[in-house]
Each structure stands twice: as structure tokens, then as C-alpha cells.
């Protein structure tokens, strides 16, 4: 029996590129020697994307659609696609053709060699602009310092996983706030990576605002590192040490009536700044705890096409 490949695609207002994505990807998939299904996850699109997906699903039974009741975000969309997939191998990619479908045959070869995790490493990102590229570099530096978990710089949401890895993700990684890429890179199993160049978007504009990216970065740090929580200990030690030095100094020099108004104000501001920052950091962790505790669904499916689940 032929093996099955599931291609998972998250879609949020991608009317400009969907047709082209479907055409180019299908053309590549015809030649891989595996059966295939393309699972589009419609992440609450407000444009013509749902209608286009419906039409594609009617024309081609290998096109499957999972539609969310609202926008739940890219991460939730990928998880939903993986949940609904039934392939022996699963490839996650974006709808905007920044993840070239031409790479899929190479990924298939890796699956056939027995690799369970194939991470696609971006060597270049044309469309992101210098700010996003710089911010992304800085983020990876920071998270690698903060966390024991290793994050590959340039690893993207373009990756391949085996059925086995998918079931581990499905069973055990159900956090509300998550960073799929981080799990995929650190789940173990026999893994390999393939390099690719991210071209420009095929059409439309990026759906990730700077704000969304910032939120994602903060969440990732909170999820993968508890070091920020311990900053308080270091700040406390440092403040205590400074206090002791000043105490000894004052005792030995026997200073009389203090001048030093500026010193006091500066110290006070500095101390409060550190204190508030630490409270804010603790707040971030509590917010994550709170979200997890509420145990709301990661995504809500409104309807599906060509899927009988």
C-alpha cells in the first residue's frame, strides 16, 4: 500500500495566493510517489478564502478543510491540522509560498530514510525586512541563553514530522500557549534538517504584525524558561550587597548630616524600577498559568470539508 503524506496549511485571509498555492503544491505532490492530502486550516479568515477552499474541496477529494469559528492564530491552526491529519508523514507549511513546495520531494526522501523530524532551516528571508530579521536573530540569541532547550536560528514553521511524532504532539503537548517549532525541535527522535531559501510572499501581505510577533516571543520565553522568575533572587542579592557596602562605608567614615539628595532619589527610582519589572515578569507567568488553568479549547472547529470527523 502506498504511503500517505499530509500537507498541513494554515490560512488566514490568503485569497490572493490560495489558488496558486494549490496548483503549485499539487503539481509537486503528483510526483512524489506517495498518496497525499492537503489539509487547509481556515483560521477564521474574513475574505474569500473560505469560499475558495470550499470550491477546491469540491473539485478535489484530496483537499480537506478545517474551519475555525474565529481567528485562533497560526500555532493553533498548525496543531489543528496535525490533529486532523492521517498521513504517515506530515508536512506543515504556510500558504503564501514562502515555503517552497519544491522542497517536499527532499522531505519525502528523508521520511523514506527513516527520519522522524525534518526541520527546514531558512538561509535567507527576502520579504521580512531588516527589522524582523534583526529581531528574530536577537530573539533566538535570548531564548538560547534563557532556556536549556536549544532553538535553531532560522528554523521556521516549515517542517516535516512522522506519524509517531504527530501522535506525541497530539497526546502530550496540549498547552494553550505554545510554540510548536520549539517542541518539534526538542522532541527528540531521529532528526535531520534541510536548508531552503524563503522567497517573497506570493501575494497579499504578512499576517504577523510586530505586536503578534512580540506576544509570541514573550510567550515562548515564559513557556521555555523559568530563569526570568529567578531574577528577583539576583536583584535581591545585589541590592543587599550594595546596602552592606554603603553601611560599612558610612560606619567607617562617620559621615555626619547627609547631603546626597540626588543619590537617594536615583537609588530609589532604580530600586523601584527593578521591583516593578520583577512584578511584571511574575505577572506574565501568572497570566500563562491562568490561561492554562481555565483549560479552554486550543481551537474550535466550526465545519470541515472532506473529513468525516
Dihedral (Cα; 105, 111, 116, 119), 10-degree rounding: -20
Nearest Cα to 20, choosing from 107, 105, 98? 98
Cell (9 digits) for 208: 504577523
DSSP 118: E
95 binds, among Mg ion, ligand UDP, none (CB under 5 to 8 A by kind): ligand UDP
Nearest Cα to 179, choosing from 224, 244, 129? 224
Q: How far is the CB of 91 from ligand UDP (least distance, A)?
A: 13
Q: Does 154 engage in binding with ligand UDP (CB under 6 A)? A: no
Q: Which of residues 8-27 bind ligand UDP (CB under 6 A)?
A: 10-12, 14
- State which residue, 70 or 109, has the beta carbon closest to ligand UDP: 70
Report the half-sphere exposure of 219 (CA within 13 A, side-chain side): 18
**CA 118 centroid distance within chain:** 16
- State which residue, 127 or 263, has the beta carbon closest to Mg ion: 127
Indicate the helix (H) or strand (E) that contains 6: strand 4-11
From candidates 86, 133, 144, 206, binder to ligand UDP by CB under 6 A: 206
- State which residue, 283 or 297, has the beta carbon closest to ligand UDP: 297
Give the total of residues touching ligand UDP (CB under 6 A): 16
Q: Does 43 engage in binding with ligand UDP (CB under 6 A)? A: yes
From candidates 18, 53, 57, 95, binder to ligand UDP by CB under 6 A: 95
Q: Does 136 engage in binding with ligand UDP (CB under 6 A)? A: no
Q: Could you give the CA distance from residue 113 to residue 115 in angstroms, rounded to a whole number?
A: 6
49 binds, among Mg ion, ligand UDP, none (CB under 5 to 8 A by kind): none
Neighbours of 198 (CB within 10 A): 22
Q: Name the site residues for ligand UDP (rule: CB under 6 A).
A: 10-12, 14, 43, 71, 73-74, 77, 94-96, 98, 206-208
Amino acid at each position: 500500500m502506498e504511503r500517505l503524506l499530509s500537507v498541513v496549511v494554515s490560512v488566514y485571509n490568503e485569497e490572493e495566493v490560495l489558488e496558486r498555492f494549490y496548483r503549485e503544491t499539487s503539481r509537486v505532490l503528483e510526483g512524489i510517489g506517495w498518496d497525499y492530502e492537503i489539509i487547509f486550516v481556515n483560521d477564521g479568515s474574513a475574505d474569500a478564502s473560505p469560499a475558495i477552499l470550499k470550491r477546491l474541496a469540491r473539485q478535489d477529494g484530496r483537499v480537506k478543510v478545517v474551519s475555525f469559528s474565529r481567528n485562533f492564530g497560526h500555532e493553533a491552526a498548525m496543531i489543528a491540522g496535525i490533529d486532523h491529519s492521517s498521513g504517515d508523514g506530515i508536512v506543515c507549511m504556510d500558504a503564501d509560498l514562502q515555503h517552497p513546495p519544491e522542497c517536499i520531494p527532499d522531505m519525502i526522501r528523508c521520511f523514506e530514510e527513516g527520519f522522524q523530524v525534518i526541520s527546514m532551516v531558512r538561509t535567507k528571508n527576502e520579504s521580512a525586512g531588516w527589522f524582523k530579521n534583526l529581531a528574530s536573530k536577537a530573539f533566538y540569541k535570548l531564548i538560547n541563553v534563557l532556556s536549556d532547550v536549544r532553538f535553531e536560528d532560522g528554523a521556521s514553521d516549515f517542517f516535516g514530522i512522522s506519524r509517531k511524532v504527530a501522535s506525541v504532539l497530539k497526546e502530550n503537548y496540549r498547552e494553550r500557549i505554545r510554540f510548536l517549532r520549539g517542541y518539534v525541535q526538542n522532541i527528540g527522535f531521529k532528526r535531520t534538517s534541510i536548508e531552503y531559501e524563503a522567497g517573497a510572499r506570493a501575494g497579499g501581505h504578512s499576517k504577523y504584525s510586530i505586536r503578534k510577533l512580540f506576544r509570541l516571543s514573550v510567550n515562548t520565553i515564559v513557556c521555555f524558561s523559568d530563569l526570568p522568575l529567578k531574577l528577583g533572587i539576583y536583584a535581591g542579592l545585589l541590592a543587599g550587597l550594595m546596602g552592606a557596602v554603603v553601611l560599612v562605608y558610612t560606619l567607617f567614615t562617620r559621615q555626619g548630616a547627609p547631603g546626597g539628595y540626588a543619590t537617594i532619589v536615583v537609588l530609589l527610582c532604580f530600586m523601584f524600577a527593578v521591583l516593578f519589572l520583577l512584578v511584571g515578569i511574575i505577572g506574565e507567568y501568572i497570566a500563562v498559568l491562568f490561561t492554562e488553568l481555565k483549560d479552554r479549547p486550543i481551537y474550535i472547529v466550526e465545519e470541515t470539508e472532506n473529513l468525516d470527523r
